[in-house]
Amino acid sequence: MATTTKLFGSRIKRREDPRLITGKGNFVDDVKLPGTTSAAFVRSPHAHARIRAINTAPAKAAPGVVAVYTGKDLVEGKVGGLPCGWLLPDIKLPPHPPLAVDKVHHMGEAVAVVIAENPYAAKDAAELVEVDYEVLPAVTDGEKALQSGAPVLHDQAPGNLCFSWTIGDKDKTEVAFKDAAQVVKQRLINQRLIPNAIEPRASLASFNPATNDLTLWVTSQNPHVHRLLMAAFVLGMPEHKVRVISPDVGGGFGSKIFLYPEEVIVSWASKTLGRPVRWTAERRESFLTDAHGRDHITEAEMAFDKDGKILGLRVKTNANLGAYLSTFAPLIPTYLYGTLLSGLYEIPTIWCEVSGVFTNTTPVDAYRGAGRPEATYLLERMVDLGARALGMDPAELRRRNFIPADKFPYQTPVAFVYDSGNYGPALDRALQILDYQTLRQEQERLRKEGRYTGIGFSTYIEACGPAPSQVAGALGAQAGLYESAHVRVHPTGKVSVYTGSHAHGQGHETTFAQLAADELGVPLEDIEIVHGDTGQIPFGMGTYGSRSAAVGGAAIHMSLQKIKEKGKKIAAHLLEAAEADMVYEGGKYFVKGSPDRAKTFQEVSLMAYLAHNLPKGLEPGLEATSFFDPPNFTFPFGAHIAVVEVDPDTGTVKILRYVAVDDVGNVINPMIVDGMVHGGITQGVAQALWEGAVYDENGQLLTGTMMEYALPKADNLPSFETDRTVTPSPVNPMGVKGAGETGTIAATAAVANAVMDALAPFGITHIDLPLTPTRIWQAIQAAAK
């Protein structure tokens, strides 16, 4: 383990930031090619409608227009539908054409595209495309979509049911509930969220007719996956003739994992027209077409014995998938949700049923946390309801149910085997930072003054770096879950690291360089991290599910070991020593006990390329490629506590304090992890209090601009009080766990529980998310009656 060296664990400032914060980043929209045309999409104003006819003639005649295409043109051009990357048993797979052909299924779905000499001409002409719609009744609610008589979206999915999925033991759970001293039941709505990365989605395709090569610059979290899906399933182009580049990307939160219609269409159009074609989403298009997140309706029941030990959990979830299956949509409410329902508790038995449902809404897929925030919110609310019903302290009830530290690796009743954990100390530390007992006394005192503060807990677990590939394949994945790394040492000893991970805010250029510089004993400045280009990098899986450090970092670590091994052979040869006696420390190879007779990393690198004096049979050069397929996920965890005050006059919530103690194993760069935790908490708090997509009955998105959809603002948040415990993971050589999603997973439940704690004197036990002032005020009014 490389945990004691200098850079691993250091608060190194992000090397990418000077470039990014001075406007010198290179984003897709910054890439300029001569002769580039602009695409503008004609989008359905209706949530559900039959397309009777499309008249493109006026648009085609408009100034500056190069071409106008409809869904029929794409069919004739042999453009396939968008594939789904995770299949479940008996799943219904309706076609997903990049441009609607006969019917539109959600507001904002593209029905035609105008390619013009500039974006203004394209937008002007797009307004001239005449689409004759026969408007059909729409359904946006997952439960209503399953009712008989509901409008049906796809002939292939009668009753709008896409899949039914279960996990756990139904009979055993039923028995557990029969024996229970206390059962709590609650209907929980985990509302739909809209991701809103700061950089909108963008693509620029350039087809070279001379070589038949296509280059696509696209805002992708996983350029190789984009290339594979697009080349093999949609465009029918040879994979080696397609190069996908994701340069600087401004945030993703999951929404840039997926293959979308727009990049497919600009690629095909560039090939058809022989000119580069660009599309950059307008913010309005981001709201309407970036895959949304969450949207669960759940009936949950938890059984306890009289001492507060959890006996069982029963869950029935309706997961709204939207109008089509986005790339990994089936995975999120199943294997990333049901498998997390044990949390960090010893729950003897669990039964979970999930229905995936089509509705006339934007497709839903992974959004920061992806399934795990839904599971955590459910569990943490149910545990709190249990504590309330049993009259127990919510911290104490949690502690009583923690999986003991000596039971790891721990097999849950819902498939996962947790790698490592020690849950008590994280909660203890959080309570200590908070000064819990004093705060409870203060709460009592304030209640007598008519002021309502609340303390809310979320002790959570996350599953990061989905793995291993073989198991994922058996469960329906259409891709592997390893990561690649190629390390190229140059003759002067400078190092380029090519990673299959992709950074879009994570700081890989810093953390991965810290890893490499430490392992090789060379300065940080000598390391270059290269990512986001299928033309340079071995097949990689990209960045999602908090996997980069644990999986991508481990692949880099593997390649560095290979480099060091080969270097050792060369150094031993030059020093005329036995390889087995060689030591590598501080960037030097030397014979054990004689550090003065040494060859530096730079000398060895040079010799590798001069090849004047190499051991017999050793190839020149110093490069290594590795693919790391982890044996398991990593399971970070922690304890978050929110303290809020509710104004009963208006229903407004003020967050007074927020304490987060996380355990993400060994930490490469604490400053970057702190940043991830801060951002994650902010998104989680936002789901608790502000964010939520709202559709009207006709499927019109009412929260479709920044003026209506409430993203978090800094002045609504307290300064976060953070700390960490460290329980290294055994599944990768650095002992790291994921950290990118922990805050989002934990925070929503902590804030919701705090608000319910504040409202306890009114007898209020539950209000659905988001906890807007109007809902809180109404609950108080209803309770007073």
User: Segment 260-289, which members bind another protein (CB under 8 A)?
Assistant: 282-284
Residue in 707, 719, 784, 785 binding another protein, rule: CB under 8 A: 707
Task: Identify which of 102, 105, 101, 98 has the alpha carbon closest to the alpha carbon of residue 44.
Answer: 105
Of residues 594 and 778, the one with the C-beta less far from another protein? 778
Task: Considering the complex, state which of residue 76 and residue 282 has its C-beta at the smaller distance from another protein.
Answer: 282
In angstroms, the CA 454 to CA 135 distance is: 48
Residues 6+ apart with CB under 8 A from 64: 116, 117, 118, 121, 122, 125
Of the pair 31, 710, the CB lying nearest another protein is at 710
| Residue 654 contacts another protein per CB under 8 A | no
Residue 650 in the binding site for another protein (CB under 8 A): yes
Residue 706 CB, nearest approach to another protein (Å): 6
The secondary structure of 215-275 as a DSSP string is: EEEE--S-HHHHHHIIIIIII---GGGEEEE--B----TTTTTS--HHHHHHHHHHHHHTS
Q: Name the residue nearer to another protein (CB basis): 618 or 711.
A: 711
702 binds another protein (CB under 8 A): yes
Distance between CA atoms of residues 73 and 137, nearest Å: 27
| Closest-CA residue to 423 (of 632, 681, 639) | 639
Contact 456, 376 (CB under 8 A): no
Give the Cα separation of 444 and 433 in Å (integer). Answer: 20
Tokens matching residue 400: 């009583």
Q: Could you tell me the smallest distance in angstroms from the CB atom of residue 719 to another protein?
A: 20
Helix/strand/coil for 528: strand
Cβ at position 351, least distance to another protein in Å: 37
| Least distance (Å) between residue 141 CB and another protein | 17
Closest CA to 397 of 496, 307, 505: 307
Minimum gap (Å) between residue 264 Cβ and another protein: 23
Residue given tokens 């493109």 in the structure block: 56
Residue in the structure block whose two tokens are 């503008």:
40
Nearer to another protein (CB atom), residue 441 or residue 778: 778
Q: Which of 164, 523, 705, 761 binds another protein (CB under 8 A)?
A: 705
Q: Are 627 and 555 in contact (CB under 8 A)?
A: yes
Omega within 30 of 0 (cis) for the link into 770:
yes
Return the number of the residue (130 or 721) whose C-beta is nearest another protein: 130
113 has which bridge partners? 41, 69
Length of the chain: 785
Q: For residue 38, what are the CA distances in angstroms to 1, 32, 180, 591?
A: 51, 12, 64, 63
| Interface positions, 95-134, toward another protein (CB under 8 A) | 119-120, 123-124, 127
Rg (C-alpha) for the chain, rounded Å, is: 27
DSSP state for residue 360 in the 8-state scheme: S
Task: Determine the Cα–Cα distance for residues 449 and 462; give it in Å rounded to an integer.
Answer: 39
Q: Is 697 in the site for another protein (CB under 8 A)?
A: no
Alpha-carbon torsion (185, 191, 195, 201), positive or negative = positive
Q: Which of 415, 710, 726, 760 binds another protein (CB under 8 A)?
A: 710
Q: What is the nearest approach in angstroms of another protein to the Cβ of residue 747? A: 17
DSSP state letter for 342: T
Q: Give, as ranges, the residues between 541 and 600 that touch another protein (CB under 8 A).
A: none
The binder of another protein chosen from 649, 654, 761, 763 (CB under 8 A): 649
Considering the complex, what minimum distance in angstroms separates the CB of residue 283 from another protein? 7
Comparing CB distances to another protein, the nearer of 38 and 459 is 38
In contact, 783 and 704? CB cutoff 8 Å:
no
CA atoms of 80 and 74, how far apart (whole Å)? 8
Q: What are the beta bridge partners of residue 273? A: none
CB of 57 to another protein, least distance (A): 20
* Contacts (CB under 8 A) with another protein, residues 417-446: none
The interface region with another protein, picked from 287-295, 463-471, 476-484, 774-782 by CB under 8 A, is 774-782
Tell me the closest approach of the beta carbon of residue 288 to another protein, in angstroms: 12
The least distance separating another protein from the CB of residue 69, rounded to whole angstroms, comes to 20
Q: How far is the CB of 776 from another protein (least distance, A)?
A: 10
Q: What are phi and psi for residue 591, nearest 5 degrees?
A: -80, 135
Q: Does 652 bind another protein (CB under 8 A)?
A: yes
Instruction: Return phi, psi of residue 563, to 5°.
Output: -60, -45
Q: Does 773 bind another protein (CB under 8 A)?
A: yes
- Nearest approach, Cβ of residue 204 and another protein (Å): 17
Answer for the pair 563, 624: CB distance below 8 angstroms, yes or no. yes
Phi and psi at 169, nearest 5°, equal -125, 105
Nearer to another protein, 677 or 689 (CB): 689
> Which of 305-313, 335-343, 489-497, 646-654 is the region at the interface with another protein (rule: CB under 8 A)?
646-654
Is 288 or 370 the residue whose CB approaches another protein more closely?
A: 288
> Hey, is 772 helix, strand or coil?
coil
Q: How far is the CB of 690 from another protein (least distance, A)?
A: 5
Give the dihedral of Cα atoms 261, 265, 267, 272; nearest 10 deg: 160
> How many Cβ atoms are within 10 Å of 774's Cβ, its own excluded?
11
The smaller minimum CB distance to another protein, of residues 509 and 645, is found at: 645
284 vs 316 by CB, closer to another protein: 284
In this chain, which stretch among 21-29, 245-253, 444-452, 644-652 interacts with another protein, using CB under 8 A? 644-652
CB 138 within 8 A of CB 360: yes
List all residues 6 or more positions away from 120 whose beta carbon is below 8 Å from its beta carbon. none
- In the set 694, 717, 760, 764, which binds another protein (CB under 8 A)? 694
Contact status, residue 631 vs residue 731, Cβ threshold 8 Å? yes
User: Token pair for residue 749?
Assistant: 């439940």
Which listed range, 41-49, 168-176, 334-342, 773-781, lies at the site for another protein (CB under 8 A)? 773-781
Contacting another protein (CB under 8 A), which of 711, 761, 782, 783? 711
In whole angstroms, the minimum distance from the beta carbon of 250 to another protein comes to 16
Should residue 451 be labelled a site residue for another protein when binding is judged by CB under 8 A?
no
From 17, 179, 525, 708, residue interacting with another protein (rule: CB under 8 A)? 708
Q: Is 151 exposed, middle or buried (0-12, 13-18, 19+ CB in 10 A)?
A: middle
Q: Which is nearer to another protein, 518 or 691 (CB)?
A: 691
- Closer residue to another protein (CB): 126 or 550: 126
Of residues 309 and 775, the one with the C-beta less far from another protein: 775
279/335 with CB nearer another protein: 279
Least gap, CB of 703 to another protein (angstroms): 7
Under DSSP, is residue 339 helix (H, G, I), strand (E, B) or coil?
A: helix
**DSSP string of 478-490?**
SS---EEEEEEE-
Give phi and psi for 352, each to the nearest 5: -135, 130
Of 358 and 695, nearer to another protein (C-beta) is 695
According to CB under 8 A, which one of 55, 600, 703, 765 is a site residue for another protein? 703
Comparison of 120 and 238: residue with beta carbon closer to another protein? 120
Give the interface segment with another protein, choosing from 389-397, 606-614, 706-714, 749-757 (CB under 8 A): 706-714
Residue whose CB is less far from another protein, 243 or 284 = 284
Least distance from another protein to the Cβ atom of residue 25, Å: 20
- Of positions 709, 727, 742, 756, contacts another protein by CB under 8 A: 709
Total of chain residues touching another protein, rule CB under 8 A: 30
Q: Which residues bind another protein (CB under 8 A)?
A: 119-120, 123-124, 127, 282-284, 649-650, 652, 689-690, 694, 702-703, 705-711, 713, 716, 772-774, 777-778
